[in-house]
Amino acid sequence: MTPELVDSHCHLDFPDFETELPAVIARARAAGVTRMVTICTRLRHMDRVRAIADAHEGVFFAAGTHPMSAAEEPLATVAELVALTRHPKFVGIGETGLDYHYTAESKGVQQISLRIHIEAAQDTGLPLIIHARDADDDMARILTEGFKAAPYQCVMHCFSSGEGLAKAALDLGFYLSMSGIAAFPKSDALRAIFAAAPVDRVLLETDSPYLAPPPYRGRRNEPAYTAFTARAGAQIYGMTEAAFAAQTTANFDRLFTRARVAA
């Protein structure tokens, strides 16, 4: 039997999938991916993301303002984010976070936006979904400050940051999400970070249409390819693919409780 997998982070509303979304979802299911969380990165796109979740069994959604868009979009309010959670298939707050690689000039508004999303996660009990790139120190500081004020749950989506941020997140009880980057040949340092992390704190994702794992690297990614990242993860932990799939699915259910209950 094909092990059950979950793609905890994908972007099914992106134009890359527009002409063949039913086929993409069918391929995912054939590969054992029974559930997917599609992420809205700009709140003005909320209607189309919600419509995808409504139309497809096993597809859930989350929403927030991506840090690279924080300077271009109106600042979300806590009330606005909390209101979105009334939908039964809404399962997380974000993605939000900090990205100083391409958009360091907007770091001030990114930090304001991040704190708003943290407060929404605190108020709702839904997990925060974090994007972090080249901002490890500020990210660790802001996440920790927020947690000390009021605990919340969180996943570091597509984790590819340094050992220090990984430790800070794990020390807070957060999760690290493994993408296709972990299967890239030159990702030894990242694999070492995951190998040192508790396996019960690891999720799987594609971040599709980006970051396809081998043998599809350089091509459009899609949820079905979660299976290739799961294979790499099983090797990192010295587990069978079935055992690693079962563990990461259980981890997903523990964090994304709404997706577990509604599935």
Q: What pLDDT, in 10s, does the model give residues 114-150?
A: 999 999 999 999 999 999 999 999 999 999 999 999 9
The per-residue pLDDT for 201 is 98
Q: What pLDDT, in 10s, does the model give residues 87-102?
A: 999 999 999 999 999 9
The per-residue pLDDT for 235 is 97
pLDDT of 2 higher than 80: no
Q: Is the peptide bond before 209 cis (omega within 30 degrees of 0)?
A: yes
Say which residue, 212 or 261, is predicted with more confidence. 212
Q: What pLDDT, in 10s, does the model give residues 106-115?
A: 999 999 999 9
The per-residue pLDDT for 1 is 63
Mean pLDDT of 250-255: 98
Q: How far apart are CA 2 and CA 249, in angstroms?
A: 13
Backbone angles phi, psi at 106, to 5 degrees: -105, 20
CATH class name, domain 5-253: alpha beta
Using alpha carbons only, give the angle 101, 187, 152 rounded to the nearest 5 degrees. 60
Helices (H) and strands (E) in the chain, counts: 10, 8
The per-residue pLDDT for 262 is 44
pLDDT of 159 higher than 50: yes
Mean pLDDT of 194-219: 97
Q: How far apart are CA 119 and CA 115, in angstroms?
A: 6
pLDDT-derived band at 202 (thresholds 50, 70, 90) equals very high
The per-residue pLDDT for 263 is 41
Mean pLDDT of 61-68: 98
| Percent of the chain with pLDDT strictly greater than 70 | 98
What is the H or E stretch that residue 59 is in?
strand 59-63
The candidate with the shortest Cα–Cα distance to 148, out of 120, 178, 118, is: 118
The per-residue pLDDT for 114 is 98
Q: How far apart are CA 155 and CA 255, in angstroms?
A: 8
Domain ranges of the chain: 5-253
Mean pLDDT of 196-205: 98
Q: How far apart are CA 182 and CA 27, in angstroms?
A: 22
